[in-house]
Structure 1
């Protein structure tokens, strides 16, 4: 069942998967303040609702997101960069649970930075990706300028950042930015397939695994080993961990409780 949050962002849930759709096709899904606040509210719901296991972020009308709505901002509108949360409410503070981007058309500027804030990406074969800020005398300040060199070979990241030229979906997949390519119009279906595979796993284990993967980038090997043991102790002692072992022994699907 769907819920229209602001008219600009549509949120629904299917079998434990939350779907967040940016619904501003007339503006190529560029974000204004209201849309950013709606995305932030949706991911808060994702993290707080035990029935939701993962989420998909997508855009209506054949475009993922073209960044900031410059016309709205120039007219005195609220910035889509939220204090403490970043662009769209997620670039500086990511949700605890997994977030998958389903990309049709363009993911550029802030829209590309939304994609970088997601854990996985399913894209149409016709999708395009880029950080064109330098072409406008701006800087990709919502994460791309420092995140992209961590995600790609340095020379490739610098070419994208300093020329502002886009890359196509095949190149993005080859570089590791995209998990799966699908025919045009099928990105949401592909992302939901991936989301259901994640949602079938133990929710405590999934959330902690994401936390370790993100925070561990700044750890030494010794720190990582120590923190992995200490942070996962509670998960290992959980009812879900025992249920996972019983289900394996009994050759059945586990029934997760999130406890």
Structure 2
């Protein structure tokens, strides 16, 4: 099942499988993917917070009775294969293994409980971390560190995850279990501006050196779109009138 709660500007989503440590099966993967697609164009949702329940954030793919292996259908079936366009935040309670770590890697920001851990265990099961894990990990930490995590299948604790920059902060107590977001007040962000900022960050990674034209082309396209928007005009008016802007995402 998938439990959802809407807060001002935020969708809090909890994939839940009692007794299975919130591990992913075909049904839960489909429900999460559908839920993310449903709010894709909702300008009122500025951020999506993904968290778990109890001891686990997500124990990865359920290998017991999962049915058709995810790999036979292609990784596009996994929600963590492409999270967009809103900002995504992982609030990690307990351990996040396999697909759970892939969700963390796919999110823009992450908070982790002090007792939680991350890990890509697929290699120990004769599987492949195929839903973005081995693609994103080496872009977020040094290659040899990524290779150690991916090839040994050993998990890392919250302190090490913070040290490596895989999470933004470590939460004390039950902060993560309450689904507390990271990174400020998301209601104050312009939805269009935030979306284009994320797009430039992700697309410019593959666009070459900042000495080349590629990254600047991505940035210029986004700049034209944002500066011609109604949100930019509204931001200027609100500043001049000393009031809170009303964003429309247009």
Please identify, of 180-189 and 129-138, the stretch whose mean Cα deviation from structure 2 is larger: 180-189
CA deviations 1:31-81 (Å, max 9, x no partner) are 1111111111111122122221111001122310010111122xx357498
What TM-score does the superposition give when structure 2 sets the normalisation length? 0.91
The question of 1:69 aligning with 2:57 is answered: no
For 1:13 and 1:211, locate their aligned partners in 2 and report how far apart those are by CA, in whole Å. Answer: 24
For 1:141 and 1:193, locate their aligned partners in 2 and report how far apart those are by CA, in whole Å. Answer: 27
The question of 1:250 aligning with 2:238 is answered: no
In the other structure, the counterpart of 1:213 is 201
For 2:47 and 2:64, locate their aligned partners in 1 and report how far apart those are by CA, in whole Å. Answer: 33
Shift of 1:165: 0.8
In the other structure, the counterpart of 2:192 is 204
For 2:92 and 2:84, locate their aligned partners in 1 and report how far apart those are by CA, in whole Å. Answer: 19
In the other structure, the counterpart of 1:125 is 114
Shift of 1:82: 6.2
**Gaps (5+ residues) in structure 1?**
1-7
CA deviations 1:176-205 (Å, max 9, x no partner) are 0011211132115463353x6233210000
**Gaps (5+ residues) in structure 2?**
none
* Cα separation, partners in 2 of 1:161 and 1:80, compared to 1, 3 Å: closer
For 2:12 and 2:179, locate their aligned partners in 1 and report how far apart those are by CA, in whole Å. Answer: 13
For 2:205 and 2:77, locate their aligned partners in 1 and report how far apart those are by CA, in whole Å. Answer: 20
For 1:104 and 1:254, locate their aligned partners in 2 and report how far apart those are by CA, in whole Å. Answer: 34
For 1:125 and 1:25, locate their aligned partners in 2 and report how far apart those are by CA, in whole Å. Answer: 23
* Cα separation, partners in 2 of 1:144 and 1:84, compared to 1, 3 Å: closer
Q: Does the 8 Å CA contact 1:34/1:80 hold for their aligned counterparts? A: no
* Cα separation, partners in 2 of 1:182 and 1:243, compared to 1, 3 Å: same
CA deviations 1:104-155 (Å, max 9, x no partner) are 1111111111111111101111110111112222221222222211110112
For 1:212 and 1:27, locate their aligned partners in 2 and report how far apart those are by CA, in whole Å. Answer: 38
Match of 2:45 among 49, 52, 74: 52
The question of 1:234 aligning with 2:222 is answered: no
For 1:252 and 1:189, locate their aligned partners in 2 and report how far apart those are by CA, in whole Å. Answer: 31
RMSD value over aligned CA atoms?
A: 1.9
Q: Any residues of structure 2 matched to 1:169-208 within 5 Å, and which? A: 169-189=158-178, 191-192=180-181, 194=183, 197-208=185-196
In the other structure, the counterpart of 2:6 is 13
The question of 1:103 aligning with 2:92 is answered: yes
Tell me the SS of whatever aligns to 1:26.
Answer: coil
Q: Does the 8 Å CA contact 1:46/1:55 hold for their aligned counterparts? A: no
For 1:82 and 1:48, locate their aligned partners in 2 and report how far apart those are by CA, in whole Å. Answer: 26
